[in-house]
Structure formats: structure tokens, C-alpha cells
Structure 1
Amino acid sequence: MRPVYIRMSAFGPYAGIQELNMEELGAGGLYLITGDTGAGKTTIFDAITFALYGEASGDSREAGMLRSKYADPSVPTEVELTFIYGGKTYSVCRNPEYERPAKRGTGMTMQKAEAELVYPDGRVVTKPKDVTAAVTEIMGVNREQFCQIAMIAQGKFRDLIEKGTTERQKIFREIFRTAPYQQVQDILKRKYRALERECETLRESVKQYIQGILWNKDASEETPVEEVMELLTEQNKADQEMQAGLFEEVQQKEQVLQKIRSELEQDRERKKRQKLYLELQDRRKAQREQIAELQQRYWEEQGKEPERRRLADEISRLESLMPQYLHLEELKKNERADQDEQEKLSGKQRQYEAKQEELKGKIQEGREAGESLADAPEKYQKLLYESEKHQQYMERLQNLAQDIQQYEKQRQSLALKQQEYRTVRDRVQKKESEYRVKNQAFLDEQAGILAQTLAEDQPCPVCGSMHHPAPAEQNPGAPSKEELERLQQELEQCRAEEAEASRTAGELLGNVRSREESIRKEAEELELAGSLEDMTYQLANQEKQGEEAGTRLQQELKLASEKVKQKDMWNRLLPEQEKALEKVTEELQQIRERQVALESKQKAAVEEIQRLTEVLPYPGQREAQEKQTELVQKQNVIKRQLEQAEKAVQTAEVEIAGTEGRLAELKQQLEEAVEADTEALQQKQMEIEAEKAVCEERGKELHHRIQNNQSVLKNLQNRSKELVEKEKQYAMVRSLAVTAMGNIPGKEKIMLETYVQMTYFDRIIARANTRLMVMTGGQYEMKRRRGSSNLRSQSGLELDVIDHYNGSERSIRTLSGGESFQASLSLALGLADEIQASAGGIRLDTMFVDEGFGSLDSESLEQAVQALAGLAESKRLVGIISHVDELKNRIDRQIVVKKERSGGSTAEIRGV
């Protein structure tokens, strides 16, 4: 993959649209990306990564943070990338999710993330996820692999050189993606510990079950589990046989007891019958006396038959008169209802007559009011127009006053920001002067250090002269390289603050001038003149006069509005009142007709009531019904008394017959019964029950022991079997866990993850040494340390270096700063080659190397550039991200990134 065109819009530090024609850099070789710190050098690689995969290259830069803070709200945030892969040209355009101004109305809205990929044949893929999947399929690598291959950041690999095995494990876990192997180690360890706890729990469970056995003899706690289960099985069999014998003995005793109980029960029944026989003889005598009295009473009730006939005739006569009584009551009820209705109609007539007069008066009043308010709407509309026009005028006065206040605040803020800019500018000038002095002293000091290595008749590495008449002297007060870099960073920070202060002050100045022009234009339209102070005074007078005029207008408008409402009210009410008058008049006519009909009906009803009152024996139905009820009650009493007397005689005859039958039955049973020896039977019953209780108690004890021991035996068998299985699992998993954790006794401590990392590490070291040998002139070669100084610490990832100049082998941490950079750069390049090779022959024709060159001397820098130039062979384009001056002089093709004082950054391609 080789990018040929990049367009960034409002992306990162690039506020506007930034275009880079990467074809100008050629198809291979080295080029430099240089510029101020924080200007946006690495952002170019971020833009490429975002366009391809929808994410920036660093984990700390999320897609939602890529919107430029310097961009105008109307400029969209997006990246367009054209790249060549496999000889074919592809184009991809993508934007993140961010807030933008709404296209309709005011305010902000959320712009959704979008993406589009155009294939060489014109096919188009949309939607961010689909585009990312298509790019991954085209290039054969995902985002993480692309960043590892295409971007070499030195910090990670410098840590790889300086750290030990434990720290390297964490770094390699991220580089080689070996976390699954660590998870296997952790899973095995947790499983091993869990099985160990489960086995111990099962052993404790077996002990507790053994302690719960109920033995019929003493047993030793040291007896093996298998022997315990065998002894317990034998005891359970003996206990069950004993329990069966006791059960049979209890059954035999129960049969004897049942026979004794039967004899005792028969004797008790004989005594009960004898007692009952005597009681029934007494009852029969009393029943014979009672039946004679009841028969006498029954004959007396039969003699009341004439009275019963007379009552029945009287009740029948009253029953025949009831229809006439009902008709009389109905007539009286209707008469009262007609009188009530007549009274209601009279009251209703008076109400409607009053309402009729009232409606006539309101109709006349409405007609007169309508004539007097005929022009009210026209007057109201005229006053409303004048009020709205006055309100608009007052609002313009108020807005102008607020603009003048805001203008004064902006002027004050501008003065403060201009003062802040001058303060920052003075600080920048002071820092620049200090840096120039320190930088010159540092350069002089480097010349002095070089002069110490000169020898007569030996060529100078700078000018080549064999004689050195005036070598430079060292300056003891010269700053160190670290101090000079710190001063440079402080200077760059001050310049950034100066640019930000200038941008802010410039924006405020533009706003102040724009607002002042707007104020004067509005003042001219409102016929105000003079300075802003004069305008403020005139505004106050105009507002005061306007408020007084507005108050008068509102009062007149309110009065006119009331008249319009009155006119509308009368226009609405007058037809309703006229219609209501017609309805009231019609209702009055109907009331008068109903009153005439009721008078005729009432006269006929009075005559009929008079006739019925003279004919019937009682005044009304209620009195006739009361008399009829009284006669029925007397009739029922006489009848009920006769029935009760007859029933009492019959009941007494049945009872005495039952008593005599029961006496005959009891007499026969007593003659057949035999008297028993009760005391002897009870004594024998007590003896047998005591013997039975002893057998039952012994049987309960045996049952409890058998149930308990059978449950214990079953649990012991289950737990023992489970323990055997768990111990087998434990032995197997423990062996695996110890091996995976690298804790095999007597052997080097190498964990499973470390073992996998060693394989990757060896391949990367082999690839890295081809570059390191070139960079160091064949002096150094890296080697993974074999073996460990002790068997207690983790090992396997220690890194040594072989010095071919003196044949020594030592830790890589003994290298100098420049040598460490060369080693870390070699490792980074080796990792890129390894990932590219393991990705199925995938080739990326573009690579970026970020920083790290500042620690190299001239010779080492030359060797590093040569190694990178070797990478750039075969049409590979290598971009070096750095601000080292020596690289600016060595590499002609450059992308120069600059910070603008107005905010944001720009980039341009030079040297092509």
C-alpha cells in the first residue's frame, strides 16, 4: 500500500483544507516529516489510518476527538485518501461523528460518521463498518497490524531494551498478542487451586460422615475408609435381622391384647344394657300418663269447628270487595297527582310569563347597544397598528442600548487580551535570547570536546587537516544537551501561547469593529447622532418618552377592546334571545291547554269517589285489609291449635311404641350375656402391654441406627467415588499448571506465555541483527540469553549483546544512549518484517519512523540513515518524523509542518 493523495479537512491541528500530493515524493526512498513540536507531524499518519480503518493510530486519539478546535463551524471534518495497492488505485473518504451547525434553523446537530470506498472498477462501498471490512480484505491486515508495520514509534522498543523478563512479558503481550496464553496459565492455576480445595472439602466430608456412624461396638478412627464401609455393611445386616425378630414378637403380643380387650369390652356392654333397661321402664310409665293428657286436649280443639266456619265466610266476603277498594284508592291517588300537577303548571306559568317580559327587555337593549357600537372594530384596529409600531420602535431602542453595553464589555476584554499578548510576546523574546546564548555555548562546547580527541599527524574529522595549531577549549559553563532540549521545549511552548494570544486578540478586535459599525448604522435609522455617550443619553430620553406614550396607547387600546367585545357579545346574544322568546311563548300556550284538560278530569274523579265511599262498609282499602288480616290470624290460630294437638298425640304414641320395643330387645340380650372376671383380665392386659412397649422401644432404637447408618454408608460410597475422581483430575491439572507456570522443580522458570514469546522474539532478533550490524559497522549483534542465573526468578526473555570488536557478551542495558536507539530501531524494523511476513506475504510500500534520532552522533546517524535507506529500496517509501537539523540537511524530500499564528497548522512538500 502506497498513499498518492491525502486531503485533510478540519482534522486535528489542520483548521482548513490541507492537501498533500504524495506522488511528488516518488515511489521509493526516504523523506522527512519535520516541523514544530505539536504542529501535526504524526497527524499525517493518523489521517491515513483514520481514512483506512476509522480510528487514529494511537489509542489515546479517539475518532470523536479528531475535529479541529481551530476550524470554522461551517468547515466539515473529513479525510480523503487515494492509495495504490497491487498496482490498482483505490479512493476512500471518511468523516468522524461530530457536532456541526444545523442546516435548517439555528443551533447545532450531530453529524453521523460516514465512509465511502471506490474500487478501481468504479464499485462503491458505503457505511463505516463495511468500508473498514473491505479495506482489511484488500490489504490483508487490520488496524493493529497496519500500525505495527507502517509506524515505528521508538519509545516502546527502547523500553524493550531497558526492561527485564517480567516487564518484557507485558510489552510482548501487547506486541505479539499472547494474552490468550496468559489466560490459559491463569485458567490452569485457578482450576488447580479449585480442585485442591474440592479434594480437601471431600476429605473433610468423608471424615464427618464416619464420625456420624452409630456403632454397636467401639471403632478406631484410624480405620481406612474401605474397611469402615465393609464393617458398616455387616453391622447393618445384623441390625436388620434383629429388627425383624422384634417386629414378629410385637405382633404376637398384639394378638393376645386384642383378645383381652374384646372380652373386657363385651362385659362393659352387658353392664350398660342392664342400666339402660331400668331407665326405659321408668320412661314407659311417664309416657302412658302423658298420652292421656294429650288426647283430652285434642278432643277440646275438635269442638271449635263452628267458629272456624264463621271466620272463613267473613274472610271470603271481604276478599270479594277488594277490587272496588283498589279502584277507590286509584281514583284518590290520581286526584292528588292532578292537583300537584295543576299547582306546578301554575308556578311554571308565572315563571314563563316573567321570562317573556325579561327577554323582550333584553332584545330592546341589544338593538340599542348595537347601533351605538357600530364603529368600535375600526377604532380598535387603528389603535392596535399604532401600538405594534410603537412596540417595534421601543424594542429597537432597547436592542441598541444592549449593543452599546456589549460593545463596552468587548472593548474592555480587547484591552486585556492585547495586554496579555504583549506580555507573552516579551516572554518569547526573552526565551529566544536565552536559547540562542545557550545553544551557542553548547556548540562551542562540542567543538571543545572534539578538540580533546585531536592528535598531531592525525586527520581532523571535520576539516581533515593533519596539524592543529589552535584547538578549541572546553567551556565549563556550557549547558548539557538535556538542558538545551528543555529550553527549546519551553521556547516552543511560549511561541504556542503567543500564537494563541494573538489569535484571540485578533478575533476580539474584529468583533469590536463589527459591533461598532452595526451600532452606528442602527443609530442613524433611529435618528440618533453624536458619540456613544451622546447616543446613550438620547436613548434614555427616547425610552422614557416612549414608555409614557405606550402607556397612553395601552389604555386607549384596552377601552377600544372592551367596546369590540361588547359589540360581539350583543351580535351573538340578540338572535339567541329572539329565538328564546319564541320558545317561551310556545311553552306558555301549551301550559294553558294542559290546565283546562286537568280541570275537566278532576271533576269526574270527585263524583266517582263520592259514590264508592257511600257503598263500601269501610272507609278505605287499608281498613278493609287490616280487618281481613285480623280474621285470617284468628282462623290460623284455631287451625294450628288443632293440628298441634293431633300431632302431639301421634308423636306420643310412636315414642311409647319405640320404648316398649327397645325394652323387649334389651331383655333378650341380658338373658344371653355371660358375666366375666374383669380384674383378672385387666391385670393380664397390663403385663402384656409392658412387655410389648419394651420390644417397641428396642425396635425404634434399631430402626434409627439402621436408617442413620444406611444413609452414612450411601454418602460414604458416593463421596469416596467422587474423591477418587477429583484426585485424578487434581493430579492431571496440577501437572499442567506447574508446567504452564514454569514451576517444575530443578528446571528454569519459563511460563507458557514466555515460551511462545521466546519463539517470536528469536525470529525478530534474527531479522533485527541484519540492520544492527549495518548501523554499528559490524560491532554489535543481539542475542537472547540462554539459561538463568537462578531457578527462582522468571527467565527466558533476557536480551544480551555480542561485541564483535572484543569478543565479549554482556547485557544490552550496558549500551550507550545512541547505541540503545540503534538497537531499538533494529528491533522495531525486525518486528515490522516479521508481522509482514506472517501476514501471508502482505507488502506495504510505505513506512513511518517517529523520533529518536536526536541521541545519535554523526557517525551513528549516518549508519541509521543507511539502514533506513536499505528499507526504502525496492520502491518502499520511508517517512522519518523528526526535527533533528542534521536530517534536514541529509534528506532533501520533506513535508514541512508549520503552526499558524491565527491558529491551526499547514503542511507543504518541499525539495522535489
Structure 2
Amino acid sequence: MRLHHIRIRAFGPFADEVTVDFDELGADGLFLLHGQTGAGKTTVLDAVAFALFGRVPGARDTNRRLHSDHAAPETVPEVELEATIGSRRLRITRSPEHERPKKRGDGKRKINACASLVWVDGSGPDLTRIPEIGEAVVRLLGMSAEQFFQVVLLPQGDFARFLRAHSDEREELLERLFDTERFGDLEDWLRDRARESASKLAEQTGTLDRIAGQIVAISGTQAPAEPDFDWAQGCLDSARQAAESALAESTAAQAAVEQAEAAYEHGRRVDDQRRRGLQARERLARLVEGEATLTAAEQFRRLALRAAPIVPLADDHERVDADVTAASDAADRARVALTELAEGATLCESDCDDAALVAAVDRWTEESGRWEPLAKRVAERPRLVADLDRLEKTIAAAEQQATDMRTWLEAAPARRDEAVAALRAADELRVQAPKLRAERDHARRVLQAFTDRDQVLAQLADAEQDLLDAREKHSAAREHQLDLRERRLTGMAVELAGALVDGEPCVVCGSVGHPAPATGDAGTSVGEAEEKEAAAAEERASAIKAIAQSAVAALQERRANLDAVIAGADRAATQADHDRLVADLAAAERAAARTPSLQDAVDRIDAEIADRRRTLADHDTAQAGRSERLTALRENLSALDAEVHEATGGRIGIAERRRELAELCRRTRDLREARRELDRTRRRQAEIAERLATACADAGFTGAEEVRSAAASQGQIRQWEKLLEEAAAIRAGAEETLADPEVCAALEAPEVDVAGLTADLVAARARRDDAARVNAVAAQRRTDLEEYVSGFWAALDALAPLKTRHEELQGLAELVSGRGQNSRRMSLRSYVLAARLDEVLVAASGRLREMSSGRYEFVHSDAAGVRGRRGGLGIEVRDEYTGVLRATTTLSGGETFFASLALALGLADVVSAESGGRVLDTIFIDEGFGTLDPEALDLVMGVLDDLRTGGRVVGVVSHVDELRARIPAQLHVLRGEHGSTLRVQSPLGVS
């Protein structure tokens, strides 16, 4: 894979669009990616990863908030990468999921992620579906996203942790890089089979225990410690013997019950017949004692039956007598009521027969009909007067409203002019708001820049002083180191000169002559330890000086940015302008907020003017109609009053006279009806009296009084009939019973002891029930034991092969899982990963030897960990200086960087080979160079030079100053208040 070009917009700290030409930047095969902390160095690598896989490495992918905070909310974040993968050139464009403001209203709407893949070499159809693009990239690279993040974007911190981690932690990374899923599936399959076997064994054991428990519960014996055939068979034999004994006892008890039941039935039957005969004799005796009562009941019943048809006629005669009296009283009351009226009294004084009453009613009805039309008009007079009053009030109120409306219309134009003026003023202020807001924001940024510059200047002064102190300390440490080195060299010459012997060869040059041996005080010589301590002190001072230089450079860059923002402005004038702009903007925003309400006020005034003018015109039309209606009502009232006075002569009103005539007619009709009702009731009275006399004579009664004394209710008659019927039935039943031969024989025989026979039967049945219960329990126990013992034998036969199979599966599952007989505590998957790790260590050892000048190489350890930890993935380092195997945790900071870089490069080679031997033409190495001394850095640079042979491009991500001098091709990430930018420095120039 080789990267050619990348374009980034609104992504991470990059607000504006930035581009990188990797062909130009990596022309020399090696380039440096550097910048301040937080500027966005890692974001460039994230953009490459996002373009390829739609995600970013590690924990940074958790939040998924990739839209730049420095960019405008409506700017679409986008990454475009052009690369060659697997000999096919392609261009991938991706936009992450983000939010942007809604076009209407407040709030935001979510925009889904989108992507496109264009084959630049025309080798296939373009793709726009995200899953298809991901599949194409993985297929061409031959590795997953996790593998790519580890072997192309080499994170040194991750490999340093990997170097020092336990086997379990290394296993997690290696599983992501190497496909060991099938071995894990095999482990899971064996564990599942072992669990299934354990489940079946436990189920079978539980079945056997459950059956044994049932046998114990039934037989009442103690179960043996181990399952036993003989114990189960013995329980069954005992149950069978008990069942045979219980059956014999139950048969004998049943025979005794049958004998007792026969004796009891015979005695009970004789006793029942004797009791029946005695009861029949007693009933006949009671009938003889009540013979007089029965005769009287029979006589009363016959009289009551003869009087029953005549009683209703007697009742009707009494009711009609009462009706005649009531009708006579009603006729008298009607005549008195009619005489209460003058014209009615006159009528009653004359011969007021029925024809005279009819003629009077007709005469009064005719007179009332003549007054009916005028009465209707008189009844409407109150409503006519009320309408007249209401209309006069309505006309007065409407006239007052018209007056108020005309006054309001006269004042309306002035009110409208005021509202229009206020609207124009507010609209002018509203138009100025955007300009005022921009000027206020600029003034605010300038004021903040003044404040920040004061802080930066104070910090810069302290940093420059720290830099001067660091330079002095570094110079002193450097001079002290050079002095010690010189003194050591001098001291070594004196020591060697003191060991020279005339005539013997020199150990340095081999000469036997010593013309000018060095002289001096051997006690002032310097040892190797002192020289190393001075070198370490010089290195620490150099690091402190580099840190101080970086801090001063950063503060100077920050001051330059702030000076550019201030641009020579005066602080006091800027503050005054800011305060004025804040006040003006507040007024403009208030005016903008009031503009809609002011426009509504003008519209309301215009609408109200038009509405009131229409209302006033409608009012004038309505008032004309009301005036005409008022004149007509007054004329109708005057005409009605004149006509009533003329018709009645002023004595009473029309309505009163008509009510008087209606009352005369009603009372006259009441008198006619009362007289007719009296005649009808008298005729009915004579008819019923004649029928009653005839009925009494036919039944043999002298009159109604005798009938009523003989009469009885139907209930009483039924009681007499029932009494007579029961007496007859008792006599017949008793005589029939005494005629039965068995009853006669029972009366002559001695009395039977039924209680004794009953007691004997109860005792026999109790013995039978106990014997039957014991027999049923014994038979059921025998049946249950036969079933459970059979099941016990079958379960015991099936248990042995299940136990053998489970032991085999359990042992094999524990072995492949790193437990049980596995002495190294290494699982099958760990074993496979250990083989992969061994390949990685072999590939990494060559580079580690080169970077450590042949001192170190990796060694794979498959020993088990401490405290039972799994083994197989251990890493140790062989020190060729001592020949000792060392733990990776004993390496120094620089040595750890060597080891982790070599491990990362070795892993990249192995994973590349695993993915089909695809060459990774572009790789990135992220940080870790700050721990190296100049000599170690030379060795690492030599390895990097080897990496770029054959056309490979290596990108180094670091902020170490010395790398800037060593690597001419650089991609500098610049941090700013409004987002980061990129500056490319290549051997061809700066862009």
C-alpha cells in the first residue's frame, strides 16, 4: 500500500481544508510529522485510518465526534484519500456522522455517514455503499482494521506495554492480529461437549439417587453408600411376603362381614314389621277419639259451598247503595256551584231541566266565540308594549355607540402615524445588528488577545530566564564532562607509563623502547564511573535545555499570533468601542425582537379602522329600520285600546268576560252529568236487589245476613276437605297394615336386639377395612418396588459408560484450555499464538541486534506464569554482553524504545506475510524518540534507512528537535485559535 494524496476538511482540529501530497513529501522515503502537543499530528493518521475503514484507532473511536469544533456548524466534515493498494489505484471519500443546524427553526438534525470509492485506474465500477467499500479495502489490504492500526500506524506506547505485559494481555493483542478463531472454536466445542457429558452424568446420577430414595421411602430401609443390586432385590422380596400375608387376612375379614350383615338384615326386617303394626293400631285409636270433629267439619263445608255463589251479589248490592248516595251528593254540589254565579242562579230558579241546561250552554258558548278574535289581540298587548320599550332603548344605545365610534375614527390617523414611526425606527436598528455583532466579536477577540498577551509575556519572560539557566547549566555540565574526559585520558597515560619496564614491549604500541613516558600524579586520575555520571548529567541538562527551548518557541509563536490579532490597536480605545458596541447591539437586538409586534400593531390599527367604518355604515342602515318599526308599534297600540273600550263599554275586560262565560258553561255541564249519573245508579240498585232475593230463595236462605254467616273462605273450605281426606287415608292405611301376615307374625314374635346386631356388624366391617387397607398398602408397595427396582437396575447399568466418557472429555477439555494435566498452563489457542509470537520475535531480533549494536536479541519463553498464570507467550531478552536472559521490564527507557520498535516492525513483517505477502509501502512510527541519546538515535536512523530501501516510505511522528535536523522532509502541524493548519517542507521546497 502506498499513499499518494490526502485532503482533510472540518475534521478534528482542522477547520479549513488542508491537503498533503505524500508523493512529494515521501520522495526521499523518510519524512517527519511534528508539531505542538494537541496541534493534530495524530489526527493526520486518524484521517488516513478513517478514509480506509470509516473509524479511527483505539479509544479515540469511542466518542465518534469527528466534526471540527473550529469549523462552522453547517460545514460538512470530509476526508479524501488517494492511494495504491494491491496494484490498484483508488480514491476514497468519506464523511462521518455529524449534526448541523436545522434550516427552519432551532435545534440540529443528524446527518448520516456517507462514502464513495472511485477506481482511478478504471479497474472496476465505483462504489457508494459503505459496507461494500469496507469489504473492498479489507480484501485489497489483506488485513482488518485492527491489523492495519498495529502494522501500518506503529503506536510505540502500545508496543511498550505489550513488551512488559503478562501473557493474558499479550494474547488479547495477538488474537486481534492473527486469526485463531477456529482454535478457540475447538476449545469451546470441547468445553461444550464436556459440559453436556457432565450434565448427562449428573442427570443419570440424579435419576439413580432419586430411584434409590423412592425405594428407601417405600421399604423403610437404609440405603447403602454405593448402589447395590442385592439391597434393591432384598427390599422387593420383603414387600412380596408382606403382601401375601395381608391378602389372607383381608379374605378372612370379608367372610366375617358377610355373616354379620345377613344376621343384621333379618333382625332389622322383623323389627320394622313390628314397629309398623304398633303404629297402625295407634292411628286407628286417634281416629275414634276425633269422630265428632270430623262430622262438624263435613256440615260446615256443605253450607259454605251453598253460600259461595250468593256472596258476590250481596257485595254488589252494598256497593250500589253507596254509589247512589255518592251520586246524589255530587248532584247537590253541582247545583250549589252553579247558583254561585248570577246568571247560574237565575237559571236554577226557573225550571232547569236538561233541555234548559243545554240551551243555556249553547247561548253562553256563542257569546264567547264572538269575543275570541279581540281577546287574542288583547292578550298580545303586553308583548306589544314591551317591544315598544325595548326598541326605544335599543335606538338610544345604538346612537351612543355611533357617537363613540365617530370619536375613535377621528383620533385613529394620529395613532397609526405613531405606530408606523416606531416600526421604521426599529427596522433601521434591526438591519444594523449583524454588522454590530461582527464588530463586537472582533473587539472581544482583540481584548482577549490583550489579556492573553499579558499572560504570555509574563510566561515568556520566565521561560527565557529558564532557558538561560538551562543553557548555563548545560554549558557547565558539558565543560565538566570534557574536563573529566581529558583528565581520564591523561590519567590513563600515566597509569600505562607507570607499568612500563625497560626492555619489555609496550602493551599499547609493542615497542620495547620508552623514550618519553607520561608523567603526573596517578592519584588525580578519573574513573569510568565518574565519566559516565558526568555524561549522564550533561545529557539531563541537554534534555532540560531542549524542553526550555521548545517552551520559549511555543510562547514566541503564541505571542506572534496574538500580536497579529491585536494589529496595533489601543487597549483603552478598544475597550470603549467594545462597550459601545455591546450597548448598540443590545438596543438593535431589542429592536429586532420588537419589530414583529410593531408590525402587528400597525396591521391591527388598519384593520380596526376599516372594521369600525363598516360597522358605522351598518349602524346607520339599522337605525332607519328601527325608527320605522317604532312608529308602526305606536299606531297599533292606540288602535287596539280604542277597539276594546268600544266593545266592552269599560265594565270589564274581554279576557275576564270570556273566562266568566267559560266557567258558566263548565258548571252547567257538571250539573247535567251529576243528574245523569244519579239516574243510572238508581236503576242499577233496583236490578241487583231483585237478583239477590231470587238467589237466596233458591239456596234456602232467608236473606243476605244468613248467607254471610254461612259463607267461608276458600282456604277454610280446603282445610275442611283436607282434614276429611287425611282421616280416610289414615284409616285405610292402618287397616291394610294390620291385615299383612308378616306384620301379624312380627307382633306375636319376641322383640329383636337391633343395637347388638348393629355393634357386631360395625366391628366386623372395621376389621375388614383395616385388613383391606393393609392389603392395599402392601400390594401397592410391592407394585411400586417392582417398578423402581427395575428402573434402578437399568439406571445402574447405564451409569458406568457415561462416567467413563465424561472423564475422557473432561480431561481433554482441560488439557486444551490450559488446565488439568497441562503443566505449562497453555491453552490450544495460546499454543498457536505462541508459534506466531515466535515468528514475530525471530523477525524482530535482527532489527533489535542492529539497533543495540549486537547486544540484545528476543527470546520466546513458554514457561507458566507465577501464581498459576497461563504461560506460552513470555518474552525475554538475551544480553550478549553477559549471556544472561533478562526480563523486558529491566530495560532502560532507550532500550525499551529499541525493543518496542523492533517488535512493531517484526510484527508488521509477519502480518504482511500472513496477508499474502503484500508489501506495505507506507508505514508510520508514532513517538518514542525522546528517550534516545545521539548514538542510539543514529542506530535507529540506520534501521529506518533500511526500511525505506526498495521504495518504502516511512513517516516518523515526533516532536524531538534533533529529528528536524536529521530528516529534511517534514510535515509541520501548526496550532491556532481558529484551528490547525499544515505546512509541508520537502527537499523540493516549502508549501
The TM-score normalised by the length of structure 1 is 0.74
> What per-residue deviation string (whole Å, max 9, x for no partner) do you get for residues 685-716 of structure 1?
36534643653564476468658867975886
Aligned match for 2:251, one of 244, 248, 251? 248
**CA 1:177–1:436: 2 relative to 1, 3 Å:** farther
1: distance between equivalents of 2:921 and 2:629?
99
Q: Secondary structure at the match of 1:16?
A: coil
1: distance between equivalents of 2:449 and 2:794?
86
Partner residue in 2 for 1:530: none
Partner residue in 2 for 1:452: 485
Aligned match for 2:145, one of 143, 146, 169? 143
2: distance between equivalents of 1:690 and 1:759?
87
Counterparts in 2 of 1:47-62, with a 5 A limit?
47-62=47-62
Deviation of 1:784 after TM superposition, in Å, equals: 1.0
1: distance between equivalents of 2:707 and 2:115?
107
Partner residue in 2 for 1:532: none
Aligned match for 2:276, one of 250, 273, 276? 273
Is the CA contact 1:115–1:126 (under 8 Å) kept in the aligned structure 2? yes
Counterparts in 2 of 1:712-731, with a 5 A limit?
727-728=803-804, 730-731=806-807
Q: Secondary structure at the match of 2:678?
A: coil
1: distance between equivalents of 2:822 and 2:720?
120
Is the CA contact 1:380–1:564 (under 8 Å) kept in the aligned structure 2? no
2:684 is aligned with 1:613:
no
Is the CA contact 1:502–1:901 (under 8 Å) kept in the aligned structure 2? no
Q: Secondary structure at the match of 2:951?
A: coil
**CA 1:201–1:642: 2 relative to 1, 3 Å:** closer
1: distance between equivalents of 2:761 and 2:874?
98
Is the CA contact 2:470–2:541 (under 8 Å) kept in the aligned structure 1? no
Partner residue in 2 for 1:152: 154
Partner residue in 1 for 2:388: 357
How much is the aligned-residue C-alpha RMSD, in angstroms?
6.0
Q: What is the one-letter code of the residue matched to 1:150?
A: V
> What per-residue deviation string (whole Å, max 9, x for no partner) do you get for residues 180-201 of structure 1?
9779879978997998899789
Is the CA contact 1:778–1:804 (under 8 Å) kept in the aligned structure 2? yes
2:717 is aligned with 1:658:
no
2: distance between equivalents of 1:202 and 1:306?
97
Partner residue in 2 for 1:837: 913
2: distance between equivalents of 1:791 and 1:418?
62
**CA 1:896–1:569: 2 relative to 1, 3 Å:** same
1: distance between equivalents of 2:772 and 2:378?
102
Q: Secondary structure at the match of 1:800?
A: strand
**CA 1:817–1:601: 2 relative to 1, 3 Å:** same
Deviation of 1:410 after TM superposition, in Å, equals: 11
**CA 1:595–1:778: 2 relative to 1, 3 Å:** farther
1: distance between equivalents of 2:819 and 2:237?
48
Aligned match for 1:375, one of 406, 412, 415? 406
Structure 1 window deviating more from structure 2 (260-269 vs 771-780): it is 771-780
Deviation of 1:78 after TM superposition, in Å, equals: 2.1
Is the CA contact 1:380–1:560 (under 8 Å) kept in the aligned structure 2? no
Partner residue in 2 for 1:870: 946
Is the CA contact 1:4–1:84 (under 8 Å) kept in the aligned structure 2? yes
Deviation of 1:895 after TM superposition, in Å, equals: 1.2
**CA 1:648–1:108: 2 relative to 1, 3 Å:** closer
1: distance between equivalents of 2:379 and 2:782?
103
Deviation of 1:581 after TM superposition, in Å, equals: 9.3
Q: Secondary structure at the match of 2:7?
A: strand
Counterparts in 2 of 1:480-879, with a 5 A limit?
518=581, 608-617=669-678, 641=712, 647-648=718-719, 650-667=721-738, 668=740, 669-673=742-746, 677-678=752-753, 681-682=757-758, 684-685=760-761, 688-689=764-765, 691-692=767-768, 695-696=771-772, 698-699=774-775, 702=778, 727-728=803-804, 730-745=806-821, 747-785=823-861, 794-802=870-878, 810-879=886-955
Partner residue in 2 for 1:421: 453
**CA 1:648–1:155: 2 relative to 1, 3 Å:** closer
Deviation of 1:849 after TM superposition, in Å, equals: 0.9
Is the CA contact 1:12–1:66 (under 8 Å) kept in the aligned structure 2? yes
Deviation of 1:761 after TM superposition, in Å, equals: 0.4
Q: Secondary structure at the match of 2:871?
A: coil
> What per-residue deviation string (whole Å, max 9, x for no partner) do you get for residues 606-661 of structure 1?
6544422221128999x99xx99xx9x99999998375566455434432332133
Is the CA contact 1:369–1:570 (under 8 Å) kept in the aligned structure 2? no
Deviation of 1:373 after TM superposition, in Å, equals: 4.0
2: distance between equivalents of 1:577 and 1:718?
116
**CA 1:575–1:436: 2 relative to 1, 3 Å:** farther
2: distance between equivalents of 1:375 and 1:292?
116
Partner residue in 2 for 1:533: none
Partner residue in 2 for 1:91: 91
Partner residue in 1 for 2:467: 435
Structure 1 window deviating more from structure 2 (193-202 vs 270-279): it is 193-202
1: distance between equivalents of 2:438 and 2:913?
66
**CA 1:759–1:877: 2 relative to 1, 3 Å:** same
Q: Which runs of 5+ in 2 are unaligned?
A: 332-336, 338-360, 362-367, 493-508, 510-517, 519-525, 589-601, 645-653, 693-703
1: distance between equivalents of 2:586 and 2:815?
90
1: distance between equivalents of 2:940 and 2:890?
20
Deviation of 1:562 after TM superposition, in Å, equals: 14
1: distance between equivalents of 2:933 and 2:803?
64
Q: What is the one-letter code of the residue matched to 1:378?
A: L
Aligned match for 1:906, one of 982, 985, 991? 982
2: distance between equivalents of 1:306 and 1:55?
116
Deviation of 1:813 after TM superposition, in Å, equals: 4.7
Counterparts in 2 of 1:31-46, with a 5 A limit?
31-46=31-46
> What per-residue deviation string (whole Å, max 9, x for no partner) do you get for residues 740-773 of structure 1?
3434458333233421220210121222234334
1: distance between equivalents of 2:223 and 2:767?
36
Q: Secondary structure at the match of 1:874?
A: helix
**CA 1:76–1:569: 2 relative to 1, 3 Å:** same
1: distance between equivalents of 2:966 and 2:582?
58
2:14 is aligned with 1:11:
no
Q: Secondary structure at the match of 1:117?
A: strand
- Tell me the number of residue pairs that the alignment of Structure 1 and Structure 2 aligns: 849
Partner residue in 2 for 1:534: none
Structure 1 window deviating more from structure 2 (244-253 vs 51-60): it is 244-253
1: distance between equivalents of 2:958 and 2:233?
84
Is the CA contact 1:308–1:638 (under 8 Å) kept in the aligned structure 2? no
Structure 1 window deviating more from structure 2 (80-89 vs 98-107): it is 98-107
**CA 1:395–1:318: 2 relative to 1, 3 Å:** farther
Deviation of 1:155 after TM superposition, in Å, equals: 1.5
Partner residue in 2 for 1:540: none
Deviation of 1:455 after TM superposition, in Å, equals: 6.0
Q: Secondary structure at the match of 1:82?
A: strand
**CA 1:109–1:853: 2 relative to 1, 3 Å:** same
Structure 1 window deviating more from structure 2 (116-125 vs 650-659): it is 116-125
**CA 1:107–1:700: 2 relative to 1, 3 Å:** closer
Structure 1 window deviating more from structure 2 (890-899 vs 708-717): it is 708-717
Q: Secondary structure at the match of 2:17?
A: strand
**CA 1:194–1:781: 2 relative to 1, 3 Å:** same
Deviation of 1:440 after TM superposition, in Å, equals: 6.3
Deviation of 1:277 after TM superposition, in Å, equals: 0.9
Partner residue in 1 for 2:350: none
Larger Rg: 2
Q: What is the one-letter code of the residue matched to 1:665?
A: E
Partner residue in 2 for 1:539: none
The TM-score normalised by the length of structure 2 is 0.69
**CA 1:605–1:415: 2 relative to 1, 3 Å:** same
